[in-house]
Structure 1
C-alpha cells in the first residue's frame, strides 16, 4: 500500500458519503483509495482523477459516459463500478474493493508461470473481456496491473473504458504515446483506432509475458517499442522458454497477428481456443518444465547421444538406467561429447540394425500420416470456406445502420425487428440483441434480425414536488434519471425556485434514458386590486403570506374605501413576506375621521369569511405569525416530524377566529 506521502484527501468525506481511509496506489491518470460508504456501510475503492484531467471538460464528459457503460457490466470477473460523482474539483469513480494483489505483483514474485497456470489465469481475464465485448465495450488497456487477484484466488479485470476516455480527450502530450505501449496493437500505433481485436492482441502479449516473464518487444523509448509492434512479429514463447508446447506458441502467434482479421475475432473466441489448449495439456507439465529450467541451462536440452548402449533389441541401457528408444536426455553444460572419432564398445550388429529399422519405419509412417491429414484438412477447408459466417459479437451495441453494413458485408441478410426492446446495457437506438445470437454460425445469405434498444427498463419517477430545484435534480439523478426541459411558472402555493410539477408525474413509469421535465415556481404573482374594497384586498394579500401596509389618500372621483393604487403593480412576481402597499381612498370629514362616511364596508361579525393564508413550506413560527395576523388561530397537529409545515387544514376561506391545524 502506498503510504509514503501524506495525502490531503485521506480523512475527507467526498460528496457527503464516501470517507477516504487510505491511499492504495497512484497511477498516471488517477489515485486509488480505500474508502467507506457511510450510507451503505461498506468498503469501496475510490479512483480520483488527477487535477489536470478533471479540469478538462471534454475528458470528464467522456469519462462519465464510459463509467456509465462500464457500470452496466455485470460479471464475476469484472470489478464492479458502483457510482460516479463530482465533488468540487474532484471527479471520482466508486468501485468494488478487491482485497488482494495485482497480477503484476504475482508475476514479480514468481518471475514466470507454467503453461497450465498461465492459461488458467487467462481464462477468467478473457471471460471478463468477452462480457465487455458482447456489450460493445473495448477495454484498451489490458495489462497485468489491471488484473486483480482476490484473496480467494479469483481474477477480476478493472478499468474498463478508462483508456478510451483519456485517448479521446482534447489533451495532447508531445512525444508521448498515450497508453501502455508494451501492449499496444499495431493498428493503435498506426491509426489510433482500437476495437475488440486490439484487446485480443493485448491479451496475447499478456499471455507471452506470463509464460516468459518479460514483454516480447523492448526498447529504450516508448517510440522504439511502438516501432517494434508495427514492424516485428511477436516471437514464440518457446524461443525464450524451451520446452513450451507448440500449441501454446500457436495461441500467442495467432492472437498477436499484425492483421486483425487473422486474430480471434473477440475475447470469447480467444477464450475458446485457450480453454481447448489448456484441456489438452499433459498432467504435471508445469512441474516438469520448472524442474527442467531450474536444474539445467536452457541451451542444454538436447537429444541424447548414444555413447555405449547395451541393447536387448527393445530398450537401450545407459549407465544402468533403461531409456526407451528415441527419448531425449537433459545434459549439464559441458556434457556434450566432443566432436571427433571415439571408440565404442562392440555391439551385436543385428540388434542395432533392427532398432534403427523399426525407428525409421515408424517415422516414415508418421510423416505420411501427417501429410495426409494436412492435405485432407486443406481439401475440407477449400470446400467449405466462404460458405459459412458467424454473427459477430461486436454487433450488439452498434447503430442499426453500422450493424446492417457489417452483416451485409459478410454476405448475410439483415432484418430489423418490429418491436424495440429494453436493455440495461445498450444505449437507446443501438442494437440490443440479435436473432440468432452473436457467435452463431450461419450459411451465406441466411437472415439475422436486429432488435433496437429502447433504453433501460422503466422505473417509477420519484416525487420531487415542493423540493428546491437543486434538491430535485439530485434526487432524480440518484434514481438514475436525467433532468430535461425546465420551465418556470407562477404559483400561489409553491415557493420560488421550488418544483411545482414534473413531466411525467411522480409515480409514473419511465425509462431512465428519457429525461424528466420540471416546472419550477417563479413565486407568486401580484394580483390586480385597484378598485376593490380596501379591507378585502388587504386580507387577500395577507392570505398569500405578504406583509401588507395600508395607506389612506383621497380622490373625490372614486368611491370611498376602495383601492386607488398598489405597489408592486399587478403581474409582478412576489415571494412570501414581501412588503406590499395599498393606497385606499377616503373622504374629507367635517368633524374628524370618526364622523366620516367611508362608503361601503365589508360585513363584520364572527361569521365574516376570510381567506386562510397558505403556510405550507414555512417554519412553524412563520406560519403562526401569518395566521394570527390574518385573524386566525393555529394549532400544531400531534405528529411533528420536521421544522417546516407540510400540511394544513382547512384551506380556502373560514370565519375570522377559526382554528387552522398544521403539521410537519
Structure 2
C-alpha cells in the first residue's frame, strides 16, 4: 500500500464504528493506525491488510486466522485482539492500543541490557508465549520488535499474525518459510515447520541479543544468516560480552540447541529456568558489572535484523562467510556497559514492577477472569465498581460449561470505574457426533465415549429381545446426534431378554416360542380341574424376568380329561393326557421276578419291584384291566 492510499484512511470510519485518527506504522503485510472505537469510546489500534494482498486467498485466511488465534489468548502480557472486520476492500483487525515503545527501541537507546535486567524483561515475554503454547499456538516470529513496553512499564507480546495451531503448523505454501531470519530455528529454515520449541529457540536468540547488543549469526544477506542457523551453533553470550554469568550462557545454549528435544519443552519451562537464574543473581549485579567495566559512553545499537521470506528448497550448502575482524571487534566492544543505559533499564523495570504490583486492582479487568464461574466473575467485577453485561453463551473447547469464555474488554485491560464489561459464558465444548456403541460390552462402550471426549452420565438397564445380556442397547442422546462433550451421555445396558407371559397359551405354541429365543425348554404335564386342556398353567421364570440364550425354563401344561367308554373296552389317560385303551393285567404271582417283569413290560406296563426274594409273592393290581403304560407293583418273597 503506498503512502497516498494509506493516508486516505485517516479520518474515515471503518465498519461504521472505528474512526481512523493517525498512522502508526507500515509493514510488509499491513498498516497499523490509531483509531477510536465510537461505540465504546476508547482508543484502539487498527491493523489494515494491504489491498495488494487481499486477492491472495491464502493470505486472507492467514490474516483472519491471526484474529482467531490471538483473540483466543487472554493474558496480561499479550496484546489483545478485540475484533476482525471487513469494510469494502479493507480487511482489518481491531487490537488493544499500547502506548509506549518496543524492546527494539530500548536496545537502540541503550545498546544492550545487563544480565539481570534482560532476565527481568524475558519473564513476561515467556509468560505470554507460555499462555500461547498452552493454547496450542505457536508465535513463529519472536523478536524485540514484537515486544512492547507501555508507559507503566508493562510488557506485552504483539503480532501473533504468524501464529498457527500447533497441530497444523506446516508450510503455508510449499517450500516457504515465514519469519524473521535472525531468529529462525534450524527446523524452520530446513523444512518450514515450527512448533513451540521453535519459539523457545527464538527467545534464546533474543536473550543473546539483549545481553550482547547483537545477534549471534550475522552476514551480508538473509540467506547467509539462515545458513548459519542450520550449520553453526549459537555461541555462549560471554564469548561476545565478557562478564555474562554462566547461568545466562546455559539458558541461551540450551534454548538454541539444534536438536529441539534438548531445548526446554515450551516457553513455560523456559520461563521457570529464566526465573531461577534471575533469582540467583544479586539485585545489584548489573550496577556492579557496569562499575567494573568503568565506561560512561552510551553503546551504539545493533543493526536491525534481516527480514525475508525464503524458499526452503533453494538454500545453498556452502555459504558460511568467515567473521571479519570488524565483526570480532564489534563483538568485543559490546562488553562495556553504559551508566545511562542502566538508568533507562532500571526505569523500565521499575515501571513494570509497579504495574505488576497494582494490576490486581479493579481499574483492570481481573487477569484470571477467563475460566471463572460466571457468578464469581460477575461478583468480582461489581465489587470493583464495574458494570457487568452477560452475552449469549458460546461453545469453547478451552473453558468448561458455565465458566467465562471471554470478556470485552479482555482480561488485564485498563477500565474506568463504572465501565461495562461484557462476559461471554461457555456453553461447553463444541458439539460432536455421539459414537455408536450399540452391542458393545459396557466397559468398551464407556472407553469409546471417553476417548471421544464425552462425559459419562447414568447407566441403566432394560430388557431386550434382540441385544444379549450385559451388552449396550443404546445411548441418550442416540448415536450420530451432535452434542457438546460437556453434556453427559447416558448408557442403557441389556439385562437380557424378557421372559414372555405364557399362561393360558397353547402348550406346543409356548414351547416353540421359547425355543425360538434360544432357551432350553422343559415341559411338564399336570392335571388341574377347571383349566383348559393343553394350555400353560404356570411358568418358571415368571413373566418379565430377564433371560439369556441357553437359560433353562419350565412350563407346566394342563393334562386332558380321561375318557371313559361303556363298551367292552375302558379308556383312560396316558402320561401326556391323551386317551388310551385299558388292557388285561396278567397275574404273575409265584413266577420268578425277572420273568414277571419281562412279561408285564412286553404287555405295555411299567414295573416297580419291592421287597426281597426271587419270586413274586404279591402283585398290585393282580387282575382285571389297567391303562397301557400304567405301573404294576411286584412284591418279592422267598
Interval of TM-score (by shorter of Structure 1 and Structure 2):
0.3 to 0.5
Per the normalisation by structure 2, the TM-score is 0.46
Larger Rg: 2
Per the normalisation by structure 1, the TM-score is 0.44
